[in-house]
Structure 1
C-alpha cells in the first residue's frame, strides 16, 4: 500500500479522502489494534536490528545511524503502544512509528531506516517471531504434561485396568501401559511442534518486497540479532510461503485432536457404570439439585476446549487454502491474530490435563469385577493351551470360547470355571486336560495375563520399565532443545542491545 493519496481538497464528502470511514472502522482500526497489541515489541526489535545492520554494512553512516538510534529510544520512552488509538492519520502501526521517527530527526533522516526493507518482509518476520514465542510456550506446557504422564505411568505400571476395543471390554492391561500409548502419541505431537518451530525459526528480513535488494544487506546478521536460527534462503519464499503458519497450526490441530481422544476415555471410565477411574474431590463438582452426584466436570471442559483449540487451528489452514502463492493479506495481520486463540485455549487444556492425570486413581474393586464379569483373560487361556497342551490356536480358541460361554450362562466367576473348562476340553480333544485347578486359575488371572506379555512394548514389568526409561530419554532431549532455544534468544537479545546501545553513543 502507498501512503501518498490523491486528495480532492475542494470536496466536502469524506468518502473522497483516505481512509473511508467504514474502511477505517472495519479494517484499518482492527489491524492497528492487532499490531499494537501483538507485535509492538517485534516492531521495536526489527527496527533496532535493521538499523544495526545498515550501519555495519556501510549502507548508513554511523552518525546518521546514531541519530536514528537515539530517536528510537525516545519513541520507546515516550510512546506507550497500549495507550494508542487509531485515528486514520496514518495508514497503520508501521507508518505511525515512521511518522514518530521523522518528527524527531526529519523526513530525510527518518526515511533512511526503511532502506532495503519492505512491510512484506517486516510483516512475515513479525508473524514468525510471534508464532515462535507461542510455539515455545506451548512446547513448555506439552513437556510438562509429558513429564506428568511419564511419572504417572511409572507409578501405575502394575495397576490393572480393563482395555477396551470397539467400546467393549477386551483384555486386561495396566494403567501405566495405557498411558504409555498416549505418551508415545504426545511425543510425536511434540516432535511435530518442534518441526513447525524450526520452519518459523527462519527470518524473512532482507527479502524486502520480493527479490531482496541492490544494497549489500547482511541477512544473516539481522536473523542472528532477532534470535532466528538463520535467514530463509529464497526471498520469494520469505513473503509467499506461509507453510510456517500452516505447519504450525497443523501440528497444534493434531495435538488437541489426539488429546481429545484420551480425554474422552477418561469421561467414559469415570462414569458410574464403568467406574474404572476415581476422580478426586478437587476435580469434582456437585449437582445443584441431586446431592448424590459427583460430576467430574473438568473432563468436559478439557474435551470441549480441546475441540475449540483444534477448530481454531484448523481454521487457519482453511484460511490459507486456495490463496495465490504470493504476499497476501489472507495470511497476515487479522488471520495471524485469529489463530493465536488456538494457543490460548490449548494452553488451558495442557495445564489442566497435567494436573488432572497425576490425580487420577484406579478403582481396583471395580476393575477386578469388570475383568471377571467380561471374561477378558480368556485369550490367555487359549494361548496357554497352545503352549502346554500342544493344541492349534483355533482349537484352543474354541475351547476357551465354550468355557467363557458356560461361565457367563451360570453367572459364575471365570476363575472358578475349571469344571466347564475341563468338559469343553474333553469334548474338543477326546482326552483329559493336563491342567489342574490351580493352573487354570493362574492362566485366567489378570496378573498372569500381564506378566507373560513381556515382549517389547508389552505391559509386563520389564517391558514397561524399559519403555519408561526410553520416554524419559526423549523428554530429556526435548528439554535440551528448549534450553538451547532459550539460550539462542538470550544471546540474540544481549547482542542486539549491545550493538544498538553502541549506536546511541555515536557522534
Structure 2
C-alpha cells in the first residue's frame, strides 16, 4: 500500500514540483526508519490535544486507533510510502486521513514537522543508546573472560612498538575494559541530553494553542522539555555529541583490532585465529586472514567521516530549521549501525575467534632486554641513585649485546664486575614473572593489583546507570 495525494502546502502553489526535484527533496527513502517513533510521538500528541481540550477524547481515540492501524500495516509490509509522500511524517498523516477521515487532519494541530522530526530522532537515538551501552557491557565481559584466565600470563609490553617492560596479559586487556567503561559512561551522558523533548516548539516560535508540553514529554518518557522553541527545533548538538562518542568507541575498537592483527601474524604468534572468525586466501591455501579486526579498523574512518559531516552541516546554519537538517539522519543512522556491527563482531571475535598462546608469550618475554629497568630498580633499592643506576644498566645492556647474551645469561662475576652491589638475588629480580609481580603500585601490572582490578571491573559492570 502506498499513499499519494496533495502536498501539505499545495494550496500555496499553483503547479506541481518537478519530478527530479521531488525525488531530490524527499527523505522517505531513509526516514522510514523513524516510523515507530513517529507513530509514538503522534499518539502522545493526540492524547495531549485531548487532555487540553483542543480536540475531544473521542477524536483522540480515533487518531490513536488509526495510528495503531498504520503500525500494524507497516509491520505486515502493507504500508509502503513513495517519493510522493516526501517524508515519514506526511506519509503517516496522509494514510491516517485515509483511515479515519477528516478527524485525521486535526492531528497536526499545534505542532510542526520541525518539532515532530526533532522528537522522532531523539526517541530513536535514545533507544539506540541503550542498545549500544548493552553491547559495550557484553564487550567488556568478553575481555574480562580472557583476563580472568591470564592474570599470570606474561606478555611483552611495548612503547613506540619497541619492547619496553613485561606485563600481565590480563592487565593489557583490562586497559580496553577501562576504555569501554569511559565509552559506556559517555553514552550515558549523551542520553541525558538526548532525553529532552522539543515537541510543542512548533515551527520555531511555539503555538497559540493551550498545549501541555510536560504531559506529552511524560508520555514519551522524556525527562525535560526544551526551554527555547528556536533551540528546540534547530538543535543537533545531541547528534554530533553521539557521533563524537561513537568515534571514540570505534577508535578504541580499532586500536584493539590493530593489536590482534599484529598478534596473529607469524612474527608475533601471540594468538591463533579460529575458523569461525577468519577467512582464507583465494590463491594462498596456507593463509588465515584476520578479517574481523581489519574490517573494524576500516569502518572506523566511516564513523569519523560522519562526525565531520554533521559538524560541517551545522556550522553555518542560521536559526531556526533549515532543510540542511534533513542531512542529519543518514550519517546518524549509519553511525548507529556501524558501531553496533563493530561491537557485535569484536565481541564474537573475543569469545570465539582468538586463542592466546601462553607458551609463545612466555618465550617472548625471556628473549629480550625488557627487564633492564628492573636492574636499575634493583640498584636503586640498594642505595644507588636511580640516574646513576640507569646509566650503569645502559653499559650492562651494551656489554650483553657485545657478548651476544641476555641479562639472565650474565654470570655473577660479570654482574659484580659492573657494580659490587649485585648479588645472587639479581637473577630472581629480573625473572619475567617477578618483574611483573613486583609492580605493586595501584593501577600497575603486579598480579595482586590485577586481581583487584578484575574484581573492581566486575562490580562496575553491575552498574546500570
TM-score (norm 2): 0.90
State the match for 2:9 in structure 1: 3
Is the aligned partner of 1:347 residue 2:311? no
1:183-222 equivalent positions in 2, closer than 5 A: 183-222=177-216
Alignment CA distance shift 1:305-1:6 (3 Å): closer
State the match for 1:19 in structure 2: 17
Alignment CA distance shift 1:476-1:110 (3 Å): same
Q: 1:249·1:313 contact (CA, 8 Å) conserved in 2?
A: yes
Is the aligned partner of 1:443 residue 2:425? no
Alignment CA distance shift 1:118-1:452 (3 Å): same
State the match for 1:492 in structure 2: none
Alignment CA distance shift 1:81-1:352 (3 Å): closer
1:223-254 superposed Cα distances (whole Å, 9 cap, x missing partner): 12123233233322211221111111111111
1:67-106 equivalent positions in 2, closer than 5 A: 67-76=62-71, 83-86=79-82, 88=84, 91-106=86-101
State the match for 2:304 in structure 1: 310
Report how many residues are paired: 456
Give, in whole Å, the separation in 1 of the partners of 2:195 and 2:80: 30
1:340-395 superposed Cα distances (whole Å, 9 cap, x missing partner): 1122122221112112224534333433343333210010111011112x111122
Give, in whole Å, the separation in 2 of the partners of 1:283 and 1:91: 42
State the match for 1:472 in structure 2: 458
- How far has the Cα of 1:132 moved from its partner? 1.6
Report SS of the residue matched to 1:227: coil
1:128-143 equivalent positions in 2, closer than 5 A: 128-143=122-137
- How far has the Cα of 1:454 moved from its partner? 0.7
Give, in whole Å, the separation in 1 of the partners of 2:279 and 2:62: 62
Of 373, 378, 384, which aligns to 2:372?
Answer: 378
State the match for 2:293 in structure 1: 299
Report SS of the residue matched to 2:366: helix
Q: 1:193·1:248 contact (CA, 8 Å) conserved in 2?
A: yes
Give, in whole Å, the separation in 2 of the partners of 1:352 and 1:91: 35
- How far has the Cα of 1:172 moved from its partner? 0.3
Is the aligned partner of 1:33 residue 2:29? yes
Of 350, 371, 385, which aligns to 1:357?
Answer: 350
- How far has the Cα of 1:459 moved from its partner? 1.1
Q: 1:189·1:255 contact (CA, 8 Å) conserved in 2?
A: yes
- How far has the Cα of 1:213 moved from its partner? 2.2
Is the aligned partner of 1:264 residue 2:264? no
Give, in whole Å, the separation in 1 of the partners of 2:81 and 2:210: 37
Runs (5+) with no aligned partner, structure 2: 1-6
State the match for 1:401 in structure 2: 394
- How far has the Cα of 1:149 moved from its partner? 1.3
Give, in whole Å, the separation in 2 of the partners of 1:279 and 1:103: 57
Alignment CA distance shift 1:82-1:324 (3 Å): farther
- How far has the Cα of 1:78 moved from its partner? 5.7
1:279-298 equivalent positions in 2, closer than 5 A: 279-298=273-292
Alignment CA distance shift 1:278-1:99 (3 Å): closer
- How far has the Cα of 1:73 moved from its partner? 4.4
State the match for 2:445 in structure 1: 459
- How far has the Cα of 1:121 moved from its partner? 0.7
Give, in whole Å, the separation in 1 of the partners of 2:456 and 2:304: 29
State the match for 2:4 in structure 1: none
Alignment CA distance shift 1:347-1:64 (3 Å): closer
Q: 1:162·1:367 contact (CA, 8 Å) conserved in 2?
A: yes
State the match for 1:324 in structure 2: 318
Report SS of the residue matched to 1:312: helix
State the match for 1:42 in structure 2: 37
- How far has the Cα of 1:397 moved from its partner? 1.4
Give, in whole Å, the separation in 2 of the partners of 1:110 and 1:296: 55
Q: 2:23·2:83 contact (CA, 8 Å) conserved in 1?
A: no
Runs (5+) with no aligned partner, structure 1: 9-16, 426-431, 482-507
TM-score (norm 1): 0.83
Q: 2:379·2:422 contact (CA, 8 Å) conserved in 1?
A: no
- How far has the Cα of 1:317 moved from its partner? 3.0
State the match for 1:110 in structure 2: 104
Q: Which has the larger radius of gyration?
A: 1
Alignment CA distance shift 1:291-1:248 (3 Å): same
Please provide the CA RMSD for this pair.
2.4
1:378-425 superposed Cα distances (whole Å, 9 cap, x missing partner): 10111011112x111122112222222222222223212134322221
Give, in whole Å, the separation in 2 of the partners of 1:475 and 1:196: 19
Report SS of the residue matched to 2:181: helix
Give, in whole Å, the separation in 1 of the partners of 2:61 and 2:284: 72
Higher relative contact order (CA 8 A, sep 6+): 1
Give, in whole Å, the separation in 1 of the partners of 2:99 and 2:340: 42
1:122-161 equivalent positions in 2, closer than 5 A: 122-161=116-155
Q: 2:153·2:362 contact (CA, 8 Å) conserved in 1?
A: no
Is the aligned partner of 1:231 residue 2:225? yes
- How far has the Cα of 1:457 moved from its partner? 0.2
State the match for 1:338 in structure 2: 331
Give, in whole Å, the separation in 2 of the partners of 1:175 and 1:63: 66
State the match for 1:491 in structure 2: none
